[in-house]
A and B are shown apart, each in its own frame.
Chain A
Amino acid sequence: MGLTSKSTGLSLLKNKYDIVKEDRDMIVIALAGNPNTGKSTLFNTLTGLNQHTGNWPGKTVSNAKGTFKYKDKKFLLVDLPGTYSLLANSVEEEIARDFICFGNPDITIVITDATCLERNLNLVLQVMEITDKVIVCVNLIDEAKRKGISIDIEKLENRLGVPVIPTVARDNKGIDELLEIIYQMINGNIKTNPYRLKYSDEIESIIKEIEPILIETLGTKYNTRWLALRLIDGDKAIFNSIDNILKKYSI
């Protein structure tokens, strides 16, 4: 039909996530989150770029990279497609997941919707399985307040083990705090201790057997526990992803 999943925008975009050489000396920040939580708004606020924002889910179909400066550091911000999970049920999820795992961003910001925190926490927990360097933004805090919802930020920070910042991205609220936390984290002044999920005994025991094999081949550069988990989950695509990464770096 001429139109296959390969020829559509999303898979073409896969290439766009490769960070080019001149970007290497910049600090790479990935921006993840559920659809319609304000990722593009935050992206625009931070980078000053004018990505199309609009109040409907799935609007960010093409993805954007933008740069910004804070104090003496230069940052590269990558706006990932909005997803509810990272279990690779769709191309968007696969892109987001591969970038967080193999793109090695220096920091991953997960932006969440304060009005439906529970659903958003699913994604936060999954991101924290892949990487330690996570900052959580609880966005739309004003809307939540109007609905009579308030969130104990300190307790949330405590439970998650990573910095949590309440924001109202469209009114620029909480952005300064976010920038400062990013800066402190890059300088190593903030240590995170992300909560790691414990699975059933059966799953945990298989992880113990698979992980050493992965460390043998891949080293410790990637999160082998998470890779092992994905393999147990029956995710065949992850084999290809690992293969591609190895090819790229062994030559």
Chain B
Amino acid sequence: MDSVKDASSRILNILNDKLKTDANISDSIVTTIYEKAEKIANEVLMIEDKKKINWDKKIDDILTSKIFGYPIMLLLLGLIFWITIQGANYPSQLLGKILFGLENKLTEFFMYINAPYWLHGILVLGMYRTLAWVISVMLPPMAIFFPFFTLLEDLGYLPRVAFNLDNFFRKSGTHGKQALTMSMGFGCNAAGVIATRIIDSPRERLIAIITNSFVPCNGRFPTLIAISTIFFSSLVSPKFSSIIATASVIGIILIGIFITLFVSKLLSKTILKGIPSTFTLELPPYRKPQIGRILVRSLIDRTLFVLSRAVLVAAPAGAITWLVANINIDGISLLNHIAHFLNPLGNLMGLDGFILLAFILGLPANEIVLPILIMSYLSTGSMIELDSLDSLKNLLINNGWTWVTGLNFMLFSLLHFPCGTTLLTIKNETNSTKWAVFTALLTTSIAILVTIIVNLLSILFK
């Protein structure tokens, strides 16, 4: 390596010797490149003189305007959720009828072959029922929601969202690009965490990582939609029910964004102090969306991916839940023991022990929280046919749910610890278990705090 050292010192000598003039060499190099590029471009470009209206700019003026920017954003989001809620209802019921009809057939079959009680329990009441729920409740909204979301991405709307929100993030002492990574989080929080690589400053990147799960991901949307349809649409006449359900989902999202900004600010004022770095966000041109590709990508890449993950996790989780619900200690099931233990905290948060247990068991994937909860309610209470949202509503109300429970359930789902995949991604991206644990603790504390406050307020104003 001596020859290299020798060479580099000789080169450094020459450089020191020759570069006496303080004329900026870098500038000179860059200028040479840019001038040549400009020259070539001028030679080969032919721009038609007819006055073309710059549509991109016209649209941007409206979409990112101070007055219309936010309303349009909310309207677009609202429209998508409304279509999802409206459209998912019927196919959900149909799928439910088919799948739960099949459950009866399966039960008959198990009776016919004289299968032991526990085998039927684990396989049919545990695994199959959870799977049937995951598919009938989640598939239709996903199949409607994802193509629309992908459409917005393909059009180039996401950077406009980031542009609109940039100001808020800067005020929170963080990077404007966090608006983009947050938007990615609506798709999947793990993907959102990976997307934070576009933020250069380690401090700002860490804030974006920690707060990413405060926006609901695809796995949580179906749950939020189902609960809001059940509890908030019944507050008004059926005519407006889906509008109210939409409004409450949007409300939850806005709360999520607010908490994101609030926690970002908190972090940037305390353990992650620093000055926000400036950046230029490029608004890409609008592009004609490719409908075919959008459908393929959103249905295969996203819908099937999320669904298969849910199914993979839900099957064993369903079996475990059934077992926990049916193994008795001192005449009371293990499930009841745990739920009983969690109940005081649950009640304080306006929830109950079963709900908290469902969230804990749902750590591998948020998609299965509701199915697990249904499982545990069903295994203890009366057996009812569960083939529609109405019967779900009855089940929940029989187990003491009110709209306050529904609201707190949604809030806890929004704010609690990120799913297992996201936590692993955080660990990988930050190269430390510490930040993953910190994120889980911080988010869960906030979730507990918020639900307790909401619960106390609801008692106070009863």
A interface, CB within 8 angstroms of B:
1-5, 7-10, 35-36, 50, 54-59, 61-62, 85, 87, 90-91, 115, 117-119, 121-122, 124-126, 143, 147-153, 155-156, 159-160, 170, 195, 197-200, 202-203, 205-206, 209-210, 213-214, 216-217, 229, 231-234, 239, 242-243, 246-247, 250
Sorted from nearest, which 8 A-B pairs have the closest CB atoms? A148-B48, A118-B41, A7-B431, A121-B37, A2-B432, A55-B156, A61-B197, A9-B197
Binding stretch for chain A, among B11-19, B103-111, B315-323: B11-19
Min C-beta distance of A234 to chain B, whole Å: 7
Could you tell me if B429 and A121 are in contact, using CB atoms closer than 8 angstroms? no
Contact residues in B for A57 (Cβ distance below 8 Å) = 159, 282, 284
Of A148, A156, A217, A239, which one neighbours B47 at CB under 8 angstroms?
Answer: A148
Could you tell me if A125 and B45 are in contact, using CB atoms closer than 8 angstroms? no
Contact residues in A for B329 (Cβ distance below 8 Å) = none
Q: For chain B residues 414-439, which have a beta carbon within 8 Å of chain A?
A: 429-432, 434-435
Min C-beta distance of A238 to chain B, whole Å: 10
Roughly how many angstroms separate A150 CA and B43 CA in the complex, as a whole number?
A: 12
With an 8 A cutoff between CB atoms, is B370 at the interface?
A: no
Q: Nearest CB to that of A154 among chain B residues?
A: B44
Roughly how many angstroms separate A55 CA and B183 CA in the complex, as a whole number?
A: 13
Contact residues in B for A115 (Cβ distance below 8 Å) = 285
Could you tell me if A213 and B7 are in contact, using CB atoms closer than 8 angstroms? yes
Roughly how many angstroms separate A159 CA and B48 CA in the complex, as a whole number?
A: 22
Contact residues in A for B15 (Cβ distance below 8 Å) = 206, 210, 231-232
With an 8 A cutoff between CB atoms, is B202 at the interface?
A: yes
With an 8 A cutoff between CB atoms, is B90 at the interface?
A: no
Could you tell me if A232 and B19 are in contact, using CB atoms closer than 8 angstroms? yes
Min C-beta distance of B428 to chain A, whole Å: 9
Could you tell me if A155 and B14 are in contact, using CB atoms closer than 8 angstroms? no
With an 8 A cutoff between CB atoms, is B127 at the interface?
A: no
Given contacts A148-B48, A148-B50, A243-B4, contact A8 B25 (CB under 8 A): no
Contact residues in B for A156 (Cβ distance below 8 Å) = 40, 44
Roughly how many angstroms separate A247 CA and B5 CA in the complex, as a whole number?
A: 12
With an 8 A cutoff between CB atoms, is B21 at the interface?
A: yes
Tally B residues with Cβ within 8 Å of A: 66
Of A3, A121, A126, A152, which one neighbours B46 at CB under 8 angstroms?
Answer: A152
Roughly how many angstroms separate A152 CA and B50 CA in the complex, as a whole number?
A: 19
Min C-beta distance of B166 to chain A, whole Å: 14
Contact residues in A for B203 (Cβ distance below 8 Å) = 1
Could you tell me if B194 and A151 are in contact, using CB atoms closer than 8 angstroms? no
Contact residues in B for A87 (Cβ distance below 8 Å) = 26, 29-30
Roughly how many angstroms separate A212 CA and B322 CA in the complex, as a whole number?
A: 77
Min C-beta distance of B212 to chain A, whole Å: 14
Given A55-B153, A62-B194, A200-B28; 4 other pairs, CB 8 A cutoff: A8-B197, A155-B43, A170-B290, A234-B25
Roughly how many angstroms separate A23 CA and B76 CA in the complex, as a whole number?
A: 47
Of A2, A214, A246, which one neighbours B431 at CB under 8 angstroms?
Answer: A2
Given contacts A8-B202, A55-B158, A231-B15, contact A117 B44 (CB under 8 A): yes
Min C-beta distance of A227 to chain B, whole Å: 10
Given contacts A1-B203, A231-B15, contact A121 B4 (CB under 8 A): no
11 residue pairs bridging A and B, Cβ less than 8 Å apart: A1-B206, A55-B154, A55-B159, A58-B198, A117-B45, A118-B41, A149-B47, A150-B45, A197-B33, A213-B10, A233-B26
Could you tell me if A2 and B434 are in contact, using CB atoms closer than 8 angstroms? yes
Q: Nearest CB to that of B271 among chain A residues?
A: A1
Contact residues in A for B155 (Cβ distance below 8 Å) = 55
Q: Nearest CB to that of B153 among chain A residues?
A: A54
Roughly how many angstroms separate A205 CA and B155 CA in the complex, as a whole number?
A: 50
Roughly how many angstroms separate A121 CA and B36 CA in the complex, as a whole number?
A: 9
Given contacts A2-B430, A125-B33, A217-B3, contact A206 B287 (CB under 8 A): no
Roughly how many angstroms separate A167 CA and B284 CA in the complex, as a whole number?
A: 19
Q: Nearest CB to that of B290 among chain A residues?
A: A170
Contact residues in B for A214 (Cβ distance below 8 Å) = 7, 11
Roughly how many angstroms separate A209 CA and B287 CA in the complex, as a whole number?
A: 50
Roughly how many angstroms separate A125 CA and B38 CA in the complex, as a whole number?
A: 11
Roughly how many angstroms separate A176 CA and B381 CA in the complex, as a whole number?
A: 65
Roughly how many angstroms separate A150 CA and B32 CA in the complex, as a whole number?
A: 25
Q: For chain B residues 359-386, which have a beta carbon within 8 Å of chain A?
A: none
Min C-beta distance of A59 to chain B, whole Å: 8
